[in-house]
Structure 1
Amino acid sequence: MPSVKGLLEERERAARQRVELLREEAERVLAALREAEAFWERKVVALEEVDDALAVGPESVAGGGVEVEDVLSAPPVVAGSVVPQWREGLSVSALTPDYQRIIGVLAGREADGADGDRSMICREIAAGLGLELVPAKVEGVRSKAKKMVARGWLIEVRAGRFTLADGLRGDGS
């Protein structure tokens, strides 16, 4: 007849093996999740770039290269995905919340009154937004910042360093 201690040790060993198998499975699932999230983030950035490329702005119409029929037949742009060209009197509220938050982080850096360089790299902006500092998130911020530079909201003072455009300093409008 087997001893009670022997039976308990056998059950403990089986439970430990099950825990080890479940941990390995959890690690595989988490790795697959990280990979899927990175893939998804790349698709988000790609969609933003396509939206940007397909957007028909007033500057292209003013250039005379676009016919009215072309504008009317163009596919509709997803609401909130286009960053408007900055102009005097245009408020930050014209931007979608994600872009407003980027402006807010950079404005906070300006408001700190720190002497010297007030520009920020995308990793610092992502940290200020409370995002996880993984390449996919930082690249999403970089894509948005580059789009805002192209539209006059931000200035890229040096490669990869962004600050508010002159018209946005001080009053935040």
Structure 2
Amino acid sequence: MTASAKQKSQVPVWREGLAWSALSIDYQRILTTLGDRSRLGQGPLTCEEMAALFGMEVVPARVEALRSKAKRLVACGWLAEDAPGRFTLARGISGPGGGS
């Protein structure tokens, strides 16, 4: 791997009892934010909304980076995308400890 090539974070497939700590801090932040919304009875978030909540500049590069992470979490069973571009915790996912 060249010095300029960046290794992608591995996202394990979710399974019962797998702790959020198995994920990198960026992925944990997404899960924590969506978990907080779920506990408050609030709906899904778009990547633009997440970028704003995280204090990021809401520009295409930042939004697309978040979208890539969110889609990876969906593919591995951590998040659900019931409507295009709107993300929530997947069914069975709760609290930072992992399990359901």
Per the normalisation by structure 1, the TM-score is 0.50
Greater helix share, 1 or 2? Answer: 1
Pair 1:99 & 2:99 matched: no
Question: Within 1, Cα distance between the matches of 2:45 and 2:84?
Answer: 11
Which of 129, 135, 158 is the matching residue for 2:54?
Answer: 129
Q: How many residues align?
A: 93
CA RMSD of aligned residues (A): 1.7
Measured after TM superposition, the shift of residue 168 of structure 1 is 1.1
Pair 1:88 & 2:16 matched: yes
Question: Within 1, Cα distance between the matches of 2:89 and 2:80?
Answer: 6
Q: Which has the larger radius of gyration?
A: 1
Alignment of 1:72-83 (within 5 A): 78=7, 81-83=9-11
Identical residues among aligned pairs (%):
52
Question: Within 2, Cα distance between the matches of 1:128 and 1:91?
Answer: 24
Pair 1:143 & 2:71 matched: no
Measured after TM superposition, the shift of residue 150 of structure 1 is 0.4
| Paired AA for residue 166 in structure 1 | R
1:51-93 deviation digits (Å, cap 9, x = unpaired) = xxxxxxxxxxxxxxxxxxxxxxxxxxx4x71100000000111
Per the normalisation by structure 2, the TM-score is 0.84
Question: Within 2, Cα distance between the matches of 1:99 and 1:85?
Answer: 13
Gaps spanning 5+ residues in structure 2: where?
none
1:86-114 deviation digits (Å, cap 9, x = unpaired) = 00000111000000001111112112224
- The 8 Å contact of residues 106 and 125 in structure 1, kept in 2 or not, is answered as no
Gaps spanning 5+ residues in structure 1: where?
1-43, 48-77
